Structure 1
Amino acid sequence: MKEGVECSFLRALYDPSDAPGHYAPFGRIDPSQRGRQPTLLSIPHVGKALMTDWFDAENHATRAFEMFERGRWAEAEMELRKALAFHPDQPEWLYHLGIVLESSGRDLQAKAMFEQAAELSPDQVDVVVSAAIVCARLGESERSLHWLDRVLAIDPTNEEALARRIEMLVVQGRHEEAETAFYLAEMAMESSSPMCLLEISVSLIARGQYRKAGWCLREAMKMEPGLPRIRLRLAEVHASTGRLDRALQLCGREVREDPGNIDALSLYAELLETSGRHTEAVETLRRILDFEPADLPARQSLARLLKRMGHPQRSLVEWQILRKLDANHHGVDIEIGEVLMQLGRFAEARASLLQAHEQSCDQLEHLGPDQVELIRLSRMLLDVHLPEEAVVLMEAAYEVAPDDPETLRLLALARYNSGDIRGGVTISRRIIRMDPGCRLSMHNLALAALQRGRFGISWEWVRRGLRRHPGDESLRRIRLRILFDATAGRFHKWLEGCLTEKA
């Protein structure tokens, strides 16, 4: 090794096997060695330009480290990028740039830096773990598993990697594999891991095995009481097993100790709403929005809760803010339309429901139909006199559930209201075959026949309906109308005959 050279990059030029086992922060050089240019120049294949570039890059990296320690992220990022412009394959600089980007919330860019650093230094556990963590945070569970497997190949007893692997398998719904990974982790380590116990409890909760999940969480809490999220998971278990008071107690304690914990506040608001303490739930959701004004799930929960509490105007305000934050948020136009209908603002409701109809049609093309949502939206469209749009949605719902009575009744109603009497009659007759006593279908068939002037058929449907439902007022009204229309028709014909004879 050449005397006086502290830089990992230059050491790699002379002897790659002599590279350091870990990174100094930002690859700094001992200041006492900075001026020793003759040693470098004495190496034939290292030119003067390369030497100058290297020291310029090192100076930028050193300044970046100073900015990093002062919390001046933008300047640290700028200096690191300048350093990497000279030598883009320096893994330690890439790694620290990833940290800076991660600290400023730019996970996607941080992922690129961490992964590049991990490829360049595959034996550095901290670098590979960072790549796995940021992939997990971005929802790329398969990619995260790839990096975690790389970590465990280097260090099979790495607790964080073992726990994260269980977590990613649970995220993917691979619960049996997660359980196997948990038992392998128990065998790999000398004692039980509280982190692994916490992650396997999530899988047990998802599968409804609350008793086992509670045991795992209590054991983890004994080993490490301050483990993040452990009280919240235990609160979930208590809530799922009917011990709502205990769940509220644990969650409330977490909120008091960490008032800015969004996960804890979200669960606390949910538990308060479940227990009927709606006013406190609203206050808790407001606290979340004070910390995170763009938290869409919290704002959605607040809007729905306000509507349930009978405050449609306040609910409308929250839904409108949500739509401004995310115009394509699923279901927001339906909710706004429903609240506007409650407020009696039907023209605005029609406009909002038409937008919801367009989004539902797009969803039909790309994601397929959602039966419950289609029925709900169709009912609202009929309420604001948009039957043609309702028919489109109900036809899609009918394809999914052709034998569902509710779907058939709503499709028949949409067809009648859109003027498709023949289509409505076809569906109503099918319902009668499935349910001979369906009062609504007999009413619709009688009315459809009456509108087409078929008094005999209409009378027969009324007679059948009153035989099964003798007190039904709507069928009685149709019977009176048949008698009136038939009498009026006969009188009209008699009058025409008289006039013809006189002529």
Structure 2
Amino acid sequence: MNDWLEAEQRVERAQQLAESQQWDEALAELDAAIAINPNNAPWHAHRGFVLQQMDRSDQAASAFERAVELDPSDKDLLMALGTARMALGRFAAALQVFDRVGQIDRDFEPAYCHRIAVYAELGRHEQAEEMFYLAQQLDERCPHCFFHLGASLAMRAQYEQAIRCWRQTLALHPEYPEVRTRIARALRAQGQHDAARREYLEEYRNDAGNVELLVEMAEAAYEAGDPDAAITKLTQAIELEPDEPRAHLLLGGICFETQKYSRALRCFQRALALDDRLPGIHNHIGRTLAQLGKLKPALRHLRVALREAPEDKVLLACLASCYFNLNRFDLAATTYQKLLSIDGKLVAAHINLGICQYRLGMHDAGLRHCLLAVEFDDKCAEALRFAALGHMQLGHWRSARQALRKAAELAPEDPGIRRLRRKLIWYPLRSFLRRAIRPFRKQA
């Protein structure tokens, strides 16, 4: 009897600790109570709630599953389990739970409301709309239903209708969280950047200090063509949360695009130190190091990035360029060949592969790629210039002159084309002289 009383007292203490957000201590009390009486469904549900607050979603779902095992007809326990599965992205499993609630009580509106969200996530939008209309028959003023239907419409790029749903959510519940952010995203998708900015600002007034929201506002500002405002927002986010890797990553990206490479590198390196699993982080660092001329360190990061994204064309082009600038023409050629196997019509890649092959003494192969570049873009003066160089190396003087003439018409001020035209005057004579003195060299 004393054990049962102790268990109940521990649950009461857990409740008090949870109210003061002392989650670890609350969990310890609940674990002790459940060890005494493992068959109390509400205690397991309470434990699931505490675990959710601690971001231990898998364990929270397991706790709710245990609660449902003990009391399989309790609608509230089932709804808690369904929402826990939704948080884990297990939408099909969540749908099974909500269907079960609907079978227990066909007039229980939350079962329909949550199924709107689940069907939307599963891409079953017609059924999401069906659930919305069924829910409306039970409670036409449910803000959650309009919110979830808006999400379904936005997934289908029906942004105007989605915004109308979310406006209705606000009419029913003016403080509904994140709804203005959803409206802002829909406005951004339609190119209405000023209107989106106003929605973001209104959301931030209601949720000041939200770092994730600041980061998204920075993305929107940069997308709208205002990098200075984006940098200001990200700097503010980093001041509030110095260890937020996404803020450092995005700030680095904006600095890179605005050619502030040293600052970009510092941001990317900080992001890497905070989270070495950030998608694309080695790609960002490698490309930034390459821009700063630090080619060998750049190669280390680019090779790591290539394992993560072996068909990233920008990454492959940067890697090949580093090899080229380090005079590793064999590796550069191999990388350009891989790039062209992904997209065979990249004019710059054909030109650069041709140059690598010239450097390796493979003049015929190099000329073929430069001619392919001309074929894909006959207005590219650079392709014509290097095709002319290949013709010169192979003694095709007439073809070289024709290519250079056309290149000069396209880019009359290009110094490289001018130099090559001057060289072309002497190339045939030098070739003749080399052939002419060969017999005398043999006699000597």
Deviation at 1:318, TM superposition (A): 1.1
Deviation at 1:268, TM superposition (A): 2.7
SS state at 1:105 partner? coil
1:22-50 deviations in Å (ceiling 9; x for gaps): xxxxxxxxxxxx57xxxxxxxxxxxxxxx
Structure 1 residues 500 and 61, CA gap change in structure 2 (3 angstroms): closer
Deviation at 1:56, TM superposition (A): 5.8
RMSD: 3.4
After superposition, where does 1:306-321 map in structure 2 within 5 Å?
Answer: 306-321=255-270
1:19-78 deviations in Å (ceiling 9; x for gaps): xxxxxxxxxxxxxxx57xxxxxxxxxxxxxxxx6x5665554454345434543222222
Give the structure 2 partner of residue 100 of structure 1.
Answer: 50
Give the structure 1 partner of residue 185 of structure 2.
Answer: 236
SS state at 1:465 partner? helix
After superposition, where does 1:61-210 map in structure 2 within 5 Å?
Answer: 61-187=11-137, 189-210=138-159
CA distance in 2, matches of 1:255, 1:277: 19
Question: Quick one: which amino acid aligns to residue 252 of structure 2?
Answer: A
Give the structure 2 partner of residue 460 of structure 1.
Answer: 398
Of the structure 1 ranges 223-232 and 275-284, higher mean CA displacement relative to structure 2 is found in 275-284
Q: Is contact 2:333–2:356 with CA below 8 Å preserved after alignment?
A: yes
Structure 1 residues 491 and 371, CA gap change in structure 2 (3 angstroms): closer
Q: Is contact 2:391–2:400 with CA below 8 Å preserved after alignment?
A: no
Question: Quick one: which amino acid aligns to residue 185 of structure 2?
Answer: E
Give the structure 2 partner of residue 360 of structure 1.
Answer: 306
Give the structure 1 partner of residue 366 of structure 2.
Answer: 424
Question: Quick one: which amino acid aligns to residue 50 of structure 2?
Answer: V
Question: Quick one: which amino acid aligns to residue 90 of structure 2?
Answer: E
CA distance in 2, matches of 1:168, 1:388: 53
Deviation at 1:191, TM superposition (A): 1.4
Question: Quick one: which amino acid aligns to residue 206 of structure 1?
Answer: M
Question: Quick one: which amino acid aligns to residue 181 of structure 1?
Answer: M
CA distance in 1, matches of 2:307, 2:334: 8
Structure 1 residues 413 and 126, CA gap change in structure 2 (3 angstroms): farther
CA distance in 2, matches of 1:122, 1:352: 58
Give the structure 2 partner of residue 251 of structure 1.
Answer: 200
Q: Is contact 2:381–2:408 with CA below 8 Å preserved after alignment?
A: no
Structure 1 residues 256 and 237, CA gap change in structure 2 (3 angstroms): same
SS state at 2:176 partner? coil
Deviation at 1:384, TM superposition (A): 5.4
CA distance in 1, matches of 2:256, 2:181: 27
CA distance in 2, matches of 1:314, 1:420: 41
Structure 2 unaligned spans of 5+: none
Structure 1 residues 286 and 141, CA gap change in structure 2 (3 angstroms): farther
Deviation at 1:126, TM superposition (A): 2.5
Give the structure 2 partner of residue 265 of structure 1.
Answer: 214
Q: In the alignment, does 2:419 pair up with 1:477?
A: yes
Q: Is contact 1:442–1:461 with CA below 8 Å preserved after alignment?
A: no
Match of 1:224 among 163, 166, 173: 173
1:317-340 deviations in Å (ceiling 9; x for gaps): 111111112224232223223333
CA distance in 1, matches of 2:108, 2:213: 28
Structure 1 residues 283 and 461, CA gap change in structure 2 (3 angstroms): same
Q: Is contact 1:401–1:407 with CA below 8 Å preserved after alignment?
A: no
Deviation at 1:465, TM superposition (A): 0.9
Deviation at 1:252, TM superposition (A): 1.3
CA distance in 2, matches of 1:409, 1:268: 41
Q: Is contact 1:462–1:478 with CA below 8 Å preserved after alignment?
A: no
CA distance in 1, matches of 2:136, 2:405: 72
Q: Is contact 2:197–2:217 with CA below 8 Å preserved after alignment?
A: yes
CA distance in 1, matches of 2:99, 2:378: 62
Question: Quick one: which amino acid aligns to residue 91 of structure 1?
Answer: A
1:153-203 deviations in Å (ceiling 9; x for gaps): 33445454434333333334444443343334334x241432121222223
Q: In the alignment, does 2:390 pair up with 1:444?
A: no
1:382-416 deviations in Å (ceiling 9; x for gaps): 45555545444443443333345455445545555
CA distance in 2, matches of 1:438, 1:142: 54
Q: Is contact 2:351–2:386 with CA below 8 Å preserved after alignment?
A: no
Question: Quick one: which amino acid aligns to residue 258 of structure 1?
Answer: D
1:188-243 deviations in Å (ceiling 9; x for gaps): x2414321212222232333322212222222222222221222223334444454
Question: Quick one: which amino acid aligns to residue 178 of structure 2?
Answer: R
Q: In the alignment, does 2:289 pair up with 1:340?
A: yes
Give the structure with higher Rg (CA). 1
SS state at 1:469 partner? helix
Deviation at 1:259, TM superposition (A): 0.5
Provide TM-score, normalisation by structure 1. 0.75
CA distance in 1, matches of 2:147, 2:171: 12
Percentage of matched positions with identical amino acids = 27
Provide TM-score, normalisation by structure 2. 0.83
Q: Is contact 1:331–1:356 with CA below 8 Å preserved after alignment?
A: no
CA distance in 2, matches of 1:246, 1:124: 45
Structure 1 residues 262 and 500, CA gap change in structure 2 (3 angstroms): closer
After superposition, where does 1:261-300 map in structure 2 within 5 Å?
Answer: 261-300=210-249
Deviation at 1:432, TM superposition (A): 4.6
CA distance in 1, matches of 2:277, 2:326: 22
Residue-pair matches, total: 440
